Amino acid sequence: MSVEVTRLPSGLSVVTDQMPHLETASLGVWVGSGSRDEQHDEHGISHLLEHMAFKGTSRRTARQIAEEIEAVGGDLNAATSVETTAYYARVLKADVALALDVLSDILADPTFDNEELRREQNVIVQEIGATEDTPDDLVFERLQEKAFPGQPVGRTILGTPDTVRSFNPARLRGYLARNYRGPDMVVAAAGAVDHAHVVAEVERRFASFNGPAAPLPQAARFGGGAHVESRDLEQAHLAVALEGVPQRDETLYSLQVYTSVLGGGMSSRLFQEVREKRGLCYAIHAFHVPYTDTGLFALYAGTDGADAPELMQVVIDQIAAATENLNEAEVARTKAQMKAGLLMALESSEARIGQLARQMLAWGRPIPLQEIVAKIDAVTVESARAAGRAVIGRGRPAIAALGAGSGLESAAAIAESLWRQAA
């Protein structure tokens, strides 16, 4: 197996996958800290910190950070999620040390210059405004808020204009010191990399990330309920969620199969029944997002407001029916799709480092492909049905609906019936 792992004395893990056929390397730093790790007065600080890491260090200006990577043909990026923040680069194999130097520099020695901070706060406020103007993004923010009300895990990752503008350099340094610690960090590299070389560079450049693991975030509590928002839109945007399962739950793969059969692609039940047979929408899909201590089983559809009640009734009927008559052919097709997706990820060094880093954060080890395939193969028709029944019976759904017309209220009421029927 080409995957190697080293744990440094600080607790930081280094995981690599050498892919000899590649001339490039992807490298990244994953931190087990995201928006749900924010305190009540820190809404949006995780995402702001991700932006500010690129805005200058004592050794490099913001422009020099970008130019040094792009001067060798590489690229540099980052992303914040509910539970993680990632900083990553892709370069030629000769420039691995440079990429690690830049990544360590922006995290270990950011200057958080006041003028740069002011500008980046304005940029993020514009980003928040863009989300408000994008209803198929906004509906998921409203859904998350209803699913986990009054909790960091249910808040938007971006924050609000007021909270984003409230942060100063001292607050950023405090959050960085509290959450960016060796035991909660993984450096992942894949492609044209040498494990010993990567470890040596990381050991030298990331030595300042030490200390005990960061405090655990507030435990998630699924809420539920409906949010119906009237907006002057051409389409109605509908999203429904039920409590899913955590990353390490033994039923995870059975639920993933149930979810995919229901709404995972063009051959899924929802796509065929709602779009192909009835023409009620252009886009419809279902998905499951596992977190450390909970999960989110959800579906989305965009439709004409007048068609929203009919669409929702069909959706609810399909959710229930799949728990009773999901069949062997559907399960076999979905399992094949899942295994193909795993293999396709192995062909991309960037996808591979994300896969390895997430496994290290969730399981403390890289999961061999054969082990994942075995868990997928172990899913049966009955285990997939049972996973669906468990989700439906877990509690009241969360519902978010944006658009015009009285049909949204009716659609929300129909979605609520899913819980009443299960109860």
The residue type found at 98 is L
Q: What is the largest CA-CA distance in the chain?
A: 63
pLDDT of residue 405: 79
What are the tens digits of pLDDT across the range 102-124?
Answer: 999 999 999 999 999 999 999 99
pLDDT of residue 122: 98
The residue type found at 231 is R
Active-site choice (4, 38, 42, 50): 50
Percent of residues, the chain, with pLDDT higher than 70: 99
Q: Tokens 């990577």 — which residue?
A: 69
Report residue 3's pLDDT band, with 50, 70 and 90 as the boundaries. Answer: very high
What are the tens digits of pLDDT across the range 171-195?
Answer: 999 999 999 999 999 999 999 999 9
| Measured distance CA(158)–CA(48) in Å, rounded | 8
pLDDT of residue 1: 54
What is the pTM for the complete model shown? 0.94
Domains and CATH numbers, the chain: 3-205 (3.30.830.10), 225-422 (3.30.830.10)
User: If we measure between CA atoms, which residue out of 121, 108, 132, 115 comes closest to residue 53?
Assistant: 108
| Measured distance CA(40)–CA(43) in Å, rounded | 7
Percent of residues, the chain, with pLDDT higher than 90: 93
Angle in degrees, CA 305, 309, 310, rounded to 5? 105
| Backbone φ/ψ region at 149: left (φ over 0), alpha (ψ -120 to 50), beta | beta
Weakest mean pLDDT among 73-82, 336-345, 372-381 = 336-345
CA 217 remoteness from chain centre: 17
How many CA atoms within 13 Å lie on the side-chain side of 219? 1
Query: Does residue 423 surpass a pLDDT of 60?
Result: no
Catalytic residue status for 50: yes
Token duo for residue 360 = 């290290």
Q: How far is CA 195 from CA 96, 169, 189, in A?
A: 11, 36, 8
> Is 268:260 a contact under the CB 8 Å cutoff?
yes
pLDDT of residue 81: 98
- Cross-strand bridge partners of residue 399: 226, 240
Say if residue 42 is exposed, middle or buried (CB neighbours under 10 Å; 0-12, 13-18, 19+). buried
How many CA atoms within 13 Å lie on the side-chain side of 149? 11
Token duo for residue 36 = 């749900």
| Measured distance CA(117)–CA(132) in Å, rounded | 23
Q: Tokens 């931190």 — which residue?
A: 31
Average of per-residue pLDDT across 230-248? 95
What are the tens digits of pLDDT across the range 364-416?
Answer: 999 999 999 999 999 999 999 999 999 999 889 999 999 987 889 999 999 88
What are the tens digits of pLDDT across the range 266-324?
Answer: 999 999 999 999 999 999 999 999 999 999 999 999 999 999 999 999 999 999 999 99
Please, which residues have CB within 8 angstroms of residue 343's CB and are 6 or more apart in sequence? 369
Which DSSP symbol is given to 249?
-
Say if residue 408 is exposed, middle or buried (CB neighbours under 10 Å; 0-12, 13-18, 19+). buried
pLDDT of residue 422: 55
Report residue 219's pLDDT band, with 50, 70 and 90 as the boundaries. Answer: very high
Cβ neighbours, 10 Å, residue 234: 10
| Measured distance CA(188)–CA(190) in Å, rounded | 7
Q: What is the mean pLDDT of the chain?
A: 95
| Measured distance CA(235)–CA(134) in Å, rounded | 12
| Measured distance CA(213)–CA(202) in Å, rounded | 18
